Amino acid sequence: GIQVEQSPPDLILQEGANSTLRCNFSDSVNNLQWFHQNPWGQLINLFYIPSGTKQNGRLSATTVATERYSLLYISSSQTTDSGVYFCAVSYNTDKLIFGTGTRLQVFP
Amino acid sequence: NAGVTQTPKFRILKIGQSMTLQCTQDMNHNYMYWYRQDPGMGLKLIYYSVGAGITDKGEVPNGYNVSRSTTEDFPLRLELAAPSQTSVYFCASRSGGQGAKNIQYFGAGTRLSVL
């Protein structure tokens, strides 16, 4: 099955810094989603982005499907950005495969 | 808007006990999912359903059962609880179709400990 690797596993930032999170996947996908899990455990979808680039406020994401990776950019980070960011993928199936996540801590 | 609601939020079971984790959604979504998340890991799919009366296995179905008698409800049953089932369980749903309709919406989770 498809393997999903996320890097870095942990990231510590000061408020206001920018960061890039990476998701590599081992095979073709036509479904890629980024999620944020806040410190209380709630999972929120950030982007549905099987290809191309999207932006939502301070967050943006780019997926290069032909090279099998996706990037999540966080600009001007805030303490509320803390939590775990997951990438999840699938190909012609409902079975999303999740990576192990990037744990982000933003300090004031 | 309630979205996806899971009950209970927390539960402690003894080995061999059984229980049902409840999940209901009010978005009229056809697709529903059950995941488990072990500490420090991503989510793994247990079972999913593409509509009332239709269910299928995910990556880690052993030790669990599901049913889907209505569009709104998708309960997950543990028949003989084992310590390996200690985890956080998430229910999710999506509307179906292509594009943005692939986005999954998650409940707040059920934290289960089996001792």
Query: Rounded to a whole number, what is the largest CA-CA distance in chain A?
Result: 42
- Whether residue B94 contacts residue B101, with contact meaning beta carbons closer than 8 Å, is answered with yes
Distance between CA atoms of residues B114 and A30, nearest Å: 37
Over residues A66-80, mean pLDDT? 97
Over residues B81-100, mean pLDDT? 90
Best mutation target, B36, B45, B88, B112, to test chain A (most A CBs within 10 A): B45
Q: Measured between CB atoms, which of A42, A86, A99 is closest to B108?
A: A42
Gyration radius of chain A over CA positions: 13
Q: Measured between CB atoms, which of A4, A42, A45 is closest to B104?
A: A45
Distance between CA atoms of residues B44 and B35, nearest Å: 5
Q: Measured between CB atoms, which of A42, A44, A98 is closest to B43?
A: A98
End-to-end CA distance of chain A: 41
Distance between CA atoms of residues A103 and A38, nearest Å: 10
Q: Measured between CB atoms, which of B31, B41, B100 is closest to A94?
A: B31
Chain B residue closest in CA terms to A41: B108
Instruction: Indicate the pLDDT class of residue B102, thresholds 50, 70 and 90.
Output: confident
Counting residues of chain B whose pLDDT is more than 90, the rounded percentage is 86
Distance between CA atoms of residues B37 and B71, nearest Å: 24
Question: Residues A53, A34, B45, A43: is their CA dihedral positive or negative?
Answer: negative
Residue A59 confidence (pLDDT) above 90? yes
Distance from the Cα of A77 to chain B's closest Cα (Å) equals 23
Q: Which two tokens stand for residue B24?
A: 């209901």
Identity of the residue numbered A91: Y
Instruction: Indicate the pLDDT class of residue B13, thresholds 50, 70 and 90.
Output: very high
Distance between CA atoms of residues B12 and B29, nearest Å: 30
Residue A95 confidence (pLDDT) above 90? no
Residue A51 confidence (pLDDT) above 70? yes
CB contact under 8 A, B50 and A99: no
Instruction: Indicate the pLDDT class of residue B40, thresholds 50, 70 and 90.
Output: confident
Best mutation target, A46, A94, A98, A102, to test chain B (most B CBs within 10 A): A94
Best mutation target, B103, B110, B111, B112, to test chain A (most A CBs within 10 A): B103
Instruction: Indicate the pLDDT class of residue B1, thresholds 50, 70 and 90.
Output: low
Distance between CA atoms of residues B10 and A60, nearest Å: 35
Distance from the Cα of B78 to chain A's closest Cα (Å) equals 21
Cα pseudo-dihedral A72, A74, A75, A81, rounded to 10: 170
